[in-house]
Amino acid sequence: MTLNIRKKLLVASTALIAFVPGAFAQSALDKYTPVTAEVLANPPAGDWIQFRRTFDNQGYSTLDQINKDTVKNLELAWAWPMADTGIQETVPLIHDGVMFLQTSNAIVEALDAKTGDLLWTYRHVLPEMPASWSYQANQARRQKNSIALAGDKVILTTPDAKLVALDVKTGKIAWEQQVLDWKKGYSYTVGPLIVDDKIISAISGCSIAGTAGGCYIMAHDLNTGKELWRFNTIDDPENPKQQESWGDVPAENRWGGTPWTTGSYDPELGLTYWGVGMPGPYAQLIRGSGDGAVLYTNSTLALDVKTGKLKWYYQHLPEDNWDLDSPFERILVDQKVDGKDHKLLISVPGKNGIAFALDRETGKYLWHKDTIFQNVVSKIDADGTVHINKDLVPTAVGQPVHVCSSVSGGKLWQVGTYSPNTQTYYVPLTEACNDVTPTQSEFTAGNAVGSVTFGPRVLPEGQDKAGLFEALSINPTQGDHAWQVRQRVAPTSSMISTAGGLVFGGDAARYIKAFDDKSGDVLWEQRLNAPIGGSPVTYEIDGEQYLAVPTGYSNSASSIASAFPESPLPNGNGNSIFVFKLKKDAK
């Protein structure tokens, strides 16, 4: 089937794929109110209204009905099988008693968040890709938090590089915008950030053969989809230092720099903060950049939300040769110390597991802290300059180097959480190492330009536990280990913290766990049908607090599974959502 035919089918099939709910479920949508800019800035305590609930990406809820004393009384309220298979990295959104759940291949479902009844389903019609485009096809199966709420719309980012606005009451298309050319390899894997009248989004697919020269953070008009500005993460003509950092590699031969985790936003400063991934090809020997830092890969970018202009940047890992990219969550923290206000940005941005704190007004480096074992960064100077271990830079095609952490270790897409109550950052981490060997390979359409091979993932010498739940005490001058919980299996979900003194996270052994936020003690755990995936969220309806837990397959579960053979992964996909609440007689 050709793309043109599919486009015609899209209009004709919308009415079929948008399920019109019966009277039994309509009441949840009847009560739905628009998500205004004010609501996004100050969300109701009972809602989980965006990626990490609030603009600061803290992943913290003020709800406390489920707490250290009551968590043992959680029971299943309802469950729901997701609409498709694929890698499960979803974040359910809840507003006014309606849950919006996106799954792989750009499917969105609206559910009654109290009962689990289906309200409507939207299935995006994707173009048919050649079978040889294996990497690009996989992008459609690994969508993360690809929706946002704004006004009376659900904003969806799609694997074929579109923005789609859905009517919140029906799931029908209100407008759609083709942002970039999917035939070159561009796609969306993460959802947007809604700021006032703007959709701020970041494209993926920037390591695919056809996307050389450009990887973008963009802003579009919320009402029309019209582009307002874009920032190129690998080509900034306004910064000579950025251009020089690629050596003799011209812009049209650069790859990478994918900002594939949704950014945060400081309304007071008018800045949005995004992490950027690794350069491509992965080895400098193949990409031709010499010992240049290859900006702005593995960096934090602070952009003006009105213009898209760069305010500052900080590079966490220059000269990456190992696919240890650093695009993960940037969390905004305000602290008052000795009567002085401090505006921090904290993150474990990349796979080497090093935690950083920056001044988010200026980008000034404040401190760093190692978590898992890593051997790629040899030192970080007092001014924040990062030095890599030159012994791990391959000098010949076919020469392996043993790197810790691995391509699928350290800090991955699973998001950490910050609790203002404890002033602690809770992070899911994986101990892992692997050999990385440069190769000379042909770049083909729809496939990555990595040009390396990765050996089996193994644990660091002397380590027998792959999983680490890390609690870092945060202040403007240093980060200290508050507690660590090590376990054999790897963590596979994002984490959230609550005013009830709890931190929730899950693992490859299919356990969702509630940790005591001050001690790390496990106060409750429940084994489910598949590895815990995506992000748990919590919300409240009619005075009852709920905990929603997505499950399903992810690369995080399988990549280091050989390190814990006593906990085999299930054969099935298992993508589901489980929702818990307290027993009525136990509150």
pLDDT tops 90 at residue 397: yes
Tokens 């030192």 found at: 379
Q: Tell me, what amino acid is at 154?
A: V
CA dist 499 and 92 (Å) reads: 20
Residue 571's pLDDT band, with cuts at 50, 70 and 90, is confident
* Cβ neighbour number for residue 24 with a 10 Å cutoff: 10
In the chain, what percentage of residues exceed pLDDT 70? 95
Mean pLDDT of all residues in 13-40: 70
pLDDT of residue 8: 35
Mean pLDDT of all residues in 34-58: 98
What's the maximum distance between 2 C-alpha atoms anywhere in the chain? 70
Residue 25's pLDDT band, with cuts at 50, 70 and 90, is very low
The total number of structural domains that make up the chain: 1
With vertex at residue 396, the alpha carbon angle to CA 391 and CA 402, rounded to the nearest 5 degrees, is 45
* Cβ neighbour number for residue 373 with a 10 Å cutoff: 20
Residues 6+ apart with CB under 8 A from 454: 323, 406, 407, 434, 435, 436, 437
With vertex at residue 14, the alpha carbon angle to CA 11 and CA 15, rounded to the nearest 5 degrees, is 120
CA dist 276 and 236 (Å) reads: 14
Residue 503 falls within a domain, yes or no? yes
CA dist 75 and 55 (Å) reads: 31
Report whether 469 contacts 492 (CB < 8 A). no
Report whether 405 contacts 430 (CB < 8 A). yes
Residue 46 falls within a domain, yes or no? yes
DSSP string, 98-135: EEEEEETTTEEEEEETTT--EEEEEE--PPPPPTT-HH
Residue 27 falls within a domain, yes or no? no
What value does the CA radius of gyration of the chain take, rounded to a whole number of Å?
22
Q: Burial letters for 206-232: b for 16+ Cβ neighbours within 10 Å, e otherwise? A: bbbbbbbebbbbbbbebeebeebbbbb
pLDDT in tens, 224-243: 999 999 999 999 999 999 99
Mean pLDDT of all residues in 245-270: 97
Residue 247 falls within a domain, yes or no? yes
pLDDT of residue 163: 98
Report whether 125 contacts 10 (CB < 8 A). yes
Residue 23's pLDDT band, with cuts at 50, 70 and 90, is very low
pLDDT in tens, 360-391: 999 999 999 999 999 999 999 999 999 999 99
- Taking alpha carbons only, the member of 285, 282, 318 closest to residue 395 is 285
Residue 587's pLDDT band, with cuts at 50, 70 and 90, is low
Residue 103 falls within a domain, yes or no? yes
CA torsion, ordered 32, 33, 37, 43, to nearest 10 deg: -60
- Domain of residue 369, residue span: 33-582
Tokens 């090590």 found at: 486
- Please report how many Cα atoms fall inside a 13 Å half-sphere around the Cα of residue 96, on the Cβ side: 18
- pTM here is 0.95
Mean pLDDT of all residues in 507-520: 97
**DSSP-derived 3-state class of residue 6:** helix
Mean pLDDT of all residues in 499-527: 98
* Cβ neighbour number for residue 304 with a 10 Å cutoff: 15
Report whether 163 contacts 176 (CB < 8 A). yes
pLDDT of residue 26: 55
Residue 206 falls within a domain, yes or no? yes
Q: What is the 3-state secondary structure (H, E, C) of 45-95?
A: CCCECCCCCCCCCCCEECCCCCCCCCHHHEEEEEEEECCCCCCCCCCCEEE
CA dist 348 and 330 (Å) reads: 8
Contacts 24+ apart (CB under 8 A), 375-383: 375/403, 375/404, 376/317, 376/322, 376/324, 376/352, 376/403, 376/404, 376/405, 377/317, 377/352, 380/354
Residue 18 falls within a domain, yes or no? no
pLDDT of residue 582: 98
* Cβ neighbour number for residue 285 with a 10 Å cutoff: 20
pLDDT of residue 12: 34
Report whether 308 contacts 217 (CB < 8 A). yes
CATH number at residue 402: 2.140.10.10
Residue 346 falls within a domain, yes or no? yes
Mean pLDDT of all residues in 443-452: 91
